[in-house]
Amino acid sequence: MGNNDEHLPLFTTTPAKARIPFKFYALSIFVGICLIFVYRVRYIPAKEEAGRWAWMGMFLSELWFCLYWFVTMILRWNPIYRRAFKDRLSLRYEKALPGIDIFVCTADPVVEPPALVINTVLSVLAYDYPPQKLAVYLSDDGGSDLTFYAMLEASRFAKTWLPFCKKFKVEPRSPEAYFRTAAEPHGDPVMANDWSSVKKAYENMKQRIETVTKLGQIPEEIRKEHKGFSEWNLVANRRDHQTILQILIDGKDPTALDMEGQSLPTLVYLAREKRPQYHHNFKAGAMNALIRVSSRISNGPIILNLDCDMYSSDSETVRDALCFFMDEEKGHEVGYVQFPHTFENLSKNDLYGGSLNVIMKVDLPGQDGNGGPFYIGSGCFHRRESLCGKKYSEECKKDLMVWNDIKVEESTASVLEDTCKILASCTYEEKTLWGKEMGLKYGCPVEDVMTGLAVQCRGWRSIYFNPERKAFLGLAPTTLLQTLVQHKRWSEGDFQIFLSSYNPLVSGYKKIPLKLQLSYCPYLLWAPNCLATLYYVAVPSLCLLRGIPLFPKISSAWVLPFAFVIIVHRAYSLGEFIWCGGTFQGWWNEQRIWLFKRISSYVFAFSDNILKLLGLTDVAFAITAKVAESDVSQRNVQEIMEFGASSPMFTIIATLALLNAFCFIGGMKRVIMDLQTWFSNPFTLQILLCALLVIINLPVYQGLFLRKDKGRMPTSVTHWSLMFAVLACALARY
């Protein structure tokens, strides 16, 4: 290695190019918004005129949209992009790589099937990394012997799978994903033979796991195969059991070898203790238990955490992350490295807007440019000490030199299993700083965002890295209700942070840059967006029915700022979406889901937060289903929107859809009866707004009245929404 190479950085940072058009767009939109406000103030109805309060409401709604747009522009103003150099890392540090502890979390064997969980586990076990420095931990908050059995099967299959991956450089290293996408090799007879035998071994293992899962219990002959099954003799139920800790592969054991005689990584199963009288703090509690237990078994200075449905699709991702932690100039400042969330089960045009492409490719690079991305819960590499509450200081520069001197307790697996159980007990955290100053934060549905903010406020820098090859692939919701419930949880937790002492404008004051504080706001303010959106969706339509104009005539010059802001803003949004890899139909679907979230998920998130402030409700946590029924999956592929279940969210969506349909008919009747031209009619813009809402709600009308499959809108929702819509129209008329 040349002297020049020794001083080259392990990563580079590049600002986004060609930002002048974006800044011109932002300036022009701002001017258009100012003109809209001038119109609203200048033409406000007199006190005795009808519609004065409706006009004021429009002005306040538009003011909110403007403020929200402003913080979004701050978020996107200065995006930066990273590049990692794994070759330089290998040349300098191949013999001094730090230990890596990988945490995979699961909570329910029904919603998150064991066969899915072990594919994620196997994908990270097979990382291109020294096995003696790799440890994988599964936290099973479901406390299921079915999941433990799957892990036992995975530990055996790993002896075949890992050497196969390394020998033939397999990608991705989730066996399910690999065998689903890879064609059987024919040119190389050795690989063809190995490929067939390994695939058969995997399919046999998968069949055994799925058979036991369907059975719902472990047969007696299987229970005799491992001492760990005896732990379930003492389990009352999934919410009342002792700590179950089993080291399935002990990486320090010289006999723990694969089929080629090479060492295996450590593999650990943990079901932390749960008792009805103790709050278990959901995923945050599980992660904190893993942090403590792993500190005794492997104590890797770097921690990767993954959701159980998000497998690794690049075996060198860990080396990408280390380029940021081990860079000689800036690596000591890095608290965590966040990778994007990407999904493999999206429909062609992303029916439910689940790709999050704009967030991952536009927003997070922007937040990185403002000081660092937030922690989004999965696919994140953490510096252990930053996660455990340590503040950044210049002394951290020395830590890189001692990473390989970290020692752990030299004990047998059985001794470690016994001594570490106390670390995952219900009482261990009493009168400690865990959940407050140490580990992940408690008391919020989005503990990840709150924890990442705390790490940044302690002086650490966060990094966002979006590599060319996707690092992780997960599963997005495949029904509308799953999507809405997921966003309800996210927006509720985000707004809870905004209303708490953890608000970045408060907790981050003089600790992180103001532009980073403001960069959190577009997400923390998701929930209150419901108020302005509900107003804009309902009130102009009802005023149209009542004969109250709220917009300028088409013939008036004041229509220009409205038209300019709407057309340019949406055109830019479309261009941005397509630049991120989407399609026009995908963008249109995104607009529909954007509307549905704001009038349903965010409404319940906002109201739940208000009720919580009043002490009338408490935090709940919902797990999003990871596997769909075959007919649901088929409709997702065909891009037919799935309703199916009865939900208050669907009632709101259907009511507003019907309300706008009725008002559109009433508005068209008014135009025909008045014999006015479109240009001179004061209701033209309201009619166009109504028409747009009708078009965007076409799948709702189909679900209410035209479809006969199981995914149609439930009859009860149809009846209630019809009644509410008719009642609202009647009240508006009379």
Alpha helices in 345-428 (DSSP H): 357-358, 364-369, 384-387, 399-402, 413-420
Q: In this structure, is residue 286 part of a structural domain?
A: yes
Q: Which two tokens stand for residue 87?
A: 């070759």
CA distances from 527 to 495, 496, 499 (A): 6, 9, 11
- Annotation-wise, does 141 bind a ligand? yes
- How confident is the model at residue 628, as a pLDDT? 57
- Alpha-carbon distance of 558 to 220, in angstroms, equals 78
Report pLDDT digits (tens) over 642-651: 998 899 999 9
| Statement: residue 65 has pLDDT above 50 | yes
Mark whether 353 and 274 lie in a shared domain: yes
What does the pLDDT read at residue 644?
A: 86
Predicted TM-score (pTM) of this structure? 0.94
Contacts of 514 (CB under 8 A, 6+ apart): none
**Catalytic-role residue among 140, 448, 494, 608:** 448
- Classify residue 426: in a domain, yes or no: yes
Using CA atoms, how far apart are residues 515 and 513, in angstroms rounded to an integer? 5
Instruction: Name the amino acid, one letter, at 330.
Output: K
153 plus 254 within the same structural domain: yes
Check whether residue 561 and residue 640 sit in a common domain.
Answer: yes
169 is in an annotated binding site: no
DSSP string covering 462-512: EEE---SS-SEEB----SHHHHHHHHHHHHHHHHHHHTSTT-HHHHTTTTS
Average pLDDT, the chain: 93
Please give the average per-residue pLDDT across 236-263, as a whole number.
93
State the pLDDT at residue 1: 46
Helix, strand, or coil (residue 392): coil
390 in any annotated domain = yes
- Which of 476, 503, 528 is the last residue before a domain boundary? 476
* 141 is known as an active-site residue: yes
Structural domains in the chain (count): 2
Inside any domain, residue 281 = yes
Query: Does residue 622 lie within any of the structural domains?
Result: yes
Residue 712 sits in which domain range? Answer: 15-76+513-733
3-class secondary-structure state, position 185 = coil
> Would you place residue 734 in the very low, low, confident or very high pLDDT band (cuts 50, 70, 90)?
confident
Yes or no: say if 589 and 352 are a contact pair by the CB < 8 Å rule: yes
In angstroms, the CA 313 to CA 41 distance is: 55
Q: Are residues 65 and 96 in the same domain?
A: no
**Region 173-189 average pLDDT:** 89
> Do residues 219 and 323 both lie within one domain?
yes
Same domain, 464 and 532: no
pLDDT in tens, 516-533: 999 999 999 999 999 999
Each residue of 357-383: pLDDT tens digit? 999 999 999 999 999 999 999 999 999
Residue-level pLDDT at 456: 97
Does residue 707 belong to any structural domain of this protein?
A: yes
H helix runs in 77-188, sequence order? 86-93, 114-125, 145-168, 175-181
**For residue 487, which of 296, 655, 622, 298 has the smallest C-alpha distance?**
622
Question: Token pair 């109504």 is at which residue?
Answer: 690
Arithmetic mean of pLDDT, 498-521:
96
pLDDT digits (tens, 9 = 90+) for 112-123: 999 999 999 999
pLDDT band at 404 (very low <50, low <70, confident <90, very high): low
Buried b (16+ CB within 10 A) or exposed e, 71-92: bbbbbbbbbbbbebbbebbeeb
Same-domain check for residues 226 and 296 = yes
Residue 4 scores a pLDDT above 70:
no
Alpha carbon distance 379, 521 (integer Å): 22
Q: Write out the DSSP string of 510-550.
A: TTS-HHHHHHHHHHHTTTTHHHHHHHHHHHHHHHHHHT---
Task: Check whether 112 is labelled as a binding-site residue.
Answer: yes
Percentage of residues in the chain with pLDDT exceeding 70?
96
Q: Measured between alpha carbons, how far is residue 473 from residues 173, 343, 426, 449, 671 in Å?
A: 11, 5, 33, 21, 52
Using one digit for the tens of pLDDT, what is the confidence trace for 292-316? 999 999 999 999 999 999 999 999 9
Q: From 427, 449, 476, give the residue that closes a domain.
A: 476
pLDDT for the residue numbered 730 = 93
Same domain, 374 and 456: yes
Q: In this structure, which amino acid lies at residue 635? A: R
Contact 477, 353 (CB under 8 A): no
DSSP 89: H
**Domain final residue pick, 425, 454, 476:** 476
Asked if the structure places residue 498 within a domain, the reply is no
Q: Is 504 within the bounds of a domain? A: no
User: Are 58 and 182 contained in the same domain?
Assistant: no
253 known member of a binding site:
no
Structure token digits, residue 505: 């404008």
**Are 621 and 571 in a shared domain?**
yes
- Distant-in-sequence, close-in-space partners of 643: CB < 8 Å, separation ≥ 6: 480, 481, 650, 703, 711, 712, 713, 714, 717
Nearest Cα to Cα of residue 138 among 159, 116, 157: 116
Convert the pLDDT of each residue in 454-497 to its tens digit. 999 999 999 999 999 999 999 999 999 999 999 999 999 999 99
Do 601 and 454 share a structural domain? no
Place 660 in a pLDDT band, splitting at 50, 70 and 90.
very high
Same domain, yes or no: 72 and 89: no
DSSP string, 213-268: HHHTS--HHHHTT-GGGGGGGG--BTTBB--EEEEEE-TT-TT-B-TTS-B--EEE
Determine the pLDDT at residue 399.
Answer: 62
Q: What is the CATH number of the domain that holds 209?
A: 3.90.550.10
